[in-house]
Amino acid sequence: MSWLSNVSSLKQQVTAQVTQGLLSASKLLESDEDAIIKKVQKTHKPQGRQVDNLDGLFSIIGKILLHDNPKSDHDEKSVVHEVPASPINKICCKLACNCTDRDAEETTMTILEKELQNYLWDEKLVIVAAAFAVNYGEFYLLTQLDTPDPVAKNMAFLKQLQFIKEIGSASQNLSGAINELIHAIMTVIKCVLQFSVLDPKYFEAEEQPSAPTEIARATYWTIYSVVTCSSYIAKLVGLRNQNTMAEMTSQLKTLASKVSSMQKVLQVKFSHRKHEIETYKWLINRFNTYQDHTILSDLFDVEGGKTALVVGHDNKKEVDINSLKGSNVWLLISGPDACHAEMKTLTKLYLKLQTKEQNRYHIVWLPIVDEFNEREFSSLQSLMPWYTVRNPKIIKPVAIRYIREVWKFTNETILVPLLPKGHSKSLTPRTLDPLWISGDLLSLFSVHDPKKSLWHQNLQITLDLLLGGIYPEDSSKPASILCLYGGEDIKWIEDFTTMINRVKNSTKISIDLVYVSKSNAIDHYNNAIFDFITAKKVGGYWKADETHSWHFWTRLESIFSWGIQDGKNAKINDTMRDVMSLLSFNGSYKGWAVFGQLGSSHKVVKATGEVVLDVLRINNWWKAGTNVDSFMLALNQQIEQHLKVQKHHCYHVVLPTTVPRVPDEMMICAICDRKMGKYLMYRCCE
């Protein structure tokens, strides 16, 4: 009797464990699965493909789980010479032993973390399915009551599995639920395997990888379903409770439904992704075989018969793409936060070209935005006399991908020339650096590398290089000295302008003064400076929000950027030394001054405000009768002598994020030739 009592007690324990497992499964199905999937994604650390002929292994699994036995067993895909036996065996043991009260979620995460961490998603699924097939195959063979194999019959008897079919409808329903879940599992794995045929470089380039997230979700629930189903099969040993079987059936059907729904989502994702890739390859081919401007139509998705393009500052005026036929077209590609001063400067150069070339050149603006802000878009669009898209949303996602991946667009504004009779090699994106340096839009159509042509000549920082296209030269006036100066120390500005007037009165030399605001200055903070200049009539000034000031500093940054890319630094190249000195003025509160002559081949003379005042106060070198040339020569000599005896200097250069990454070893102080320290600066000025 004690033996029977123990058996009865054991059956009660198994039933209780099954019930607890069912409650645990129900609770998980109602939990926050997004948090679970994030945990799953953290376990994913693949080390490349490790399982050969995954399709062949999956085919073998199908023969076990789906009893899928095609006429020929010699299908090439089915030929598998080796399988990942170690993880399959380890997972087999975990599935077989999960008949206790251990949580299925915990077992699933353990399998993902310890056994499958370094495998790809599709490999994880196939390995788990293989382990499940081993355990299920044994169960399936033992439950075939008509089997002639005495070993199978005796094993089934020892496990008391013969009662499963004797119970009737409950066992049949459970068997049907198991088969239903197996079909769902195999279908979702087959769907995931489809993704492996997609080109990884297109698949991985997705900015918001929704498909990989859904694959992780499907992977988790598939493994969870396998663990749950395996535990239920293990608990069938000696089980005769029909209510427990009914609860098992319900849970397995719920899991089958969930897995099937994820398969449908994945199938839609796959079809969409496949279409995207095919469209992307088609667009690449279109650009590789580029012929003319009609390719623009392939970039837009416009409905309702509307045109894709409008005139920027008159957005009610529509533009037919065919009207561009025979014209030279630039695609202007920028981010949503393009600098207004940049666009204003480009507008000046564009209108100048249009007048000269009789409207044979056109610009089409393509703003690349992640989130559309109508106010920002309209504000920029209103500055543009050229053509723009009606709305950034009409630019096809596949076109944006092409622009980012092939033309390497980040957020720095670029121009891509489309020639009337095109060639794919002409579709070379150009940064605006050569434009800001030359001040000529046509330079972007040059077949020569403007960077090389700039640095291969004996480049000198003359006033013409700094101000060409920015400051108009009046040839009707006699040659004069032009002095650019800046800084935000109004006391220094008063002293400096007073000193310049004293020099002018004594020497009768014509010196024109122009105050240049810092590129990041807030103009209303400098109103006192502007009022002083106006009241004292000491020349003109360029505000920070005006194109002159922006173009001046941007030109210097462009020259510096090209020099760095060409391997030049201040220690070995005098031009880079001069450029860095000028850029240091833009990052300083203190005063500075640059002297030069338009039309002269001589370098400019430059110095900090303190040095310039000290030199000008030594009045024994400038006097009545001094002419322009001798004054400039003497000023340069005085500054050089002063710098030789200067005991201390604090020299820094502030670079914008648009300048390419500068190797630390390239940043050499323009004064002492030592390597400069690097600091990260965040700034907000309102």
How many percent of the chain have pLDDT more than 90?
A: 39
Nearest to 591 by CA among 463, 483, 467, 670: 483
Residues 596-630: b if buried by 16+ CB within 10 A, e if exposed: bbbebeebbbbbbbebbbebbeeeeebeeebebee
pLDDT class of 8 with cuts at 50, 70, 90: very low
Q: How far apart are CA 314 and CA 259, in angstroms?
A: 54
How many percent of the chain have pLDDT more than 70?
A: 78
Q: What integer is the mean pLDDT of 10-23?
A: 50
pLDDT class of 218 with cuts at 50, 70, 90: very high
Contact 188, 218 (CB under 8 A): yes
pLDDT class of 361 with cuts at 50, 70, 90: confident
Neighbouring CB atoms inside 10 A of 475's CB total 8
Check pLDDT > 70 for residue 349.
yes
- Which ranges of 537-603 does DSSP label H, i.e. alpha helix? 547-565, 574-586
Q: How far apart are CA 105 and CA 91, in angstroms?
A: 15
Check pLDDT > 50 for residue 205.
no
Highest mean pLDDT among 358-367, 496-505, 577-586: 496-505
Nearest to 261 by CA among 224, 217, 298: 217
pLDDT class of 101 with cuts at 50, 70, 90: very low
Check pLDDT > 80 for residue 527.
yes
Q: What confidence score (pLDDT) does residue 207 get? A: 41
Lowest mean pLDDT of 14-18, 102-106, 584-588, 626-630, name the range: 14-18
User: Which pTM was predicted?
Assistant: 0.73
Nearest to 672 by CA among 539, 581, 541: 581
Neighbouring CB atoms inside 10 A of 16's CB total 12
Long-range pairs for 492-498: beta carbons < 8 A, 24 or more residues apart: 492/590, 492/591, 492/609, 492/610, 492/613, 493/529, 493/532, 493/591, 494/532, 495/613, 496/591, 496/593, 496/609, 496/612, 496/613, 497/533, 497/536, 497/538, 497/539
Neighbouring CB atoms inside 10 A of 17's CB total 16
Per-residue pLDDT tens digits for 228-271? 999 888 877 766 777 888 898 999 999 999 999 999 999 998 99
